[in-house]
Amino acid sequence: MAQKFVADGNNGGPGEISAAPHDKHIRAAFDATISALCRRRDIARVNQVVETMVNCKVEPSSSTIAALARIMPLDSTGEILAVNHQHTKGANQLNLTLIRNFSKHLFNNVEARNAMLSRAASSSVTELELLWQKLLQDSWEPDICSFNILLATYARLRDVERAWMTFELIKEKRLVPTESTCVSMIVAHSKLKRQDQAAFRVVEFVQEMKRMKIDHTVKTAAALIRVYGQLGLCDQALMVLD
């Protein structure tokens, strides 16, 4: 007999859906519902839908895992709250059933890990670095998107040294830098106090881009002009336009 369950996030929505638990359309319905509820941060109802999903033995898709990762509460050490069943705050946080069933997916899914890193980065660089170390301990291999999150955070803080350390790791792992990688690296130099030092470091990175055969894009050129302008290096800014 087919199972019935609510698969809509709007107070019952269009009604109930009847289907076998492994039907791809049912999983798509769950995906859409969970994504919508996560966007609204309706944690209590996310719990309800996820528990139904688990009971129906429907495996979560990557998009569902990533959506859940974006709202997973992290503690001060970068751990997901309640992974060790120590955090119980009812409907205000994702409950233990959800964590127990999905923590393995969260740590095994690339998109979900990057979503968690983005959340941590929006909180603080300390939380981001703690989560990064936690993931590394679990034999995680960061991809270029992971490194871009780290770089963007250092760029926002204008932390040139840590930005360069991260870029060296990218090269060491033979990952291909993206436009976001290059923009973050350029922007990170904009608060260096000494203009001559800033100019040298920016030019050094531009030369690195050439060595790696990374072409300028509109965004990297705009970032370079903006940084040169902030540093008062008008001649260098004009050279970018040539």
Ranges of each domain in the chain: 1-123, 142-242
**pTM (2 d.p.):** 0.64
Distance CA 146, CA 133 (A): 12
Give 184 or 118, the one with higher predicted confidence: 184
Residue in the structure block whose two tokens are 């800033």: 198
pLDDT in tens, 180-237: 999 999 888 877 767 667 778 888 888 888 888 888 788 888 988 888 888 777 887 7
The three-state DSSP-derived secondary structure of 180-232 is HHHHHHHHCCCCCCCHHHHHHHHHHHHHHHHHCCCCCCHHHHHHHHHHHHHCC
Whether residue 165 has pLDDT greater than 90? yes
Specify whether the backbone of 215 is left (phi greater than 0), alpha (psi in -120 to 50) or beta: beta
Residue-level pLDDT at 81: 43
Whether residue 133 has pLDDT greater than 50? yes
Q: What percent of the chain has pLDDT over 70?
A: 72
Whether residue 109 has pLDDT greater than 50? yes
Give 127's Cβ-side CA count (13 Å radius): 15
Whether residue 24 has pLDDT greater than 80? no
Mean pLDDT score, 49-64: 77
Q: Which CATH architecture has domain 142-242?
A: Alpha Horseshoe (1.25)
Give 88 or 140, the one with higher predicted confidence: 140
Residue 80: strand pairing partners: 74
Mean pLDDT score, 103-128: 75
Mean pLDDT score, 96-123: 67
Residue-level pLDDT at 65: 74
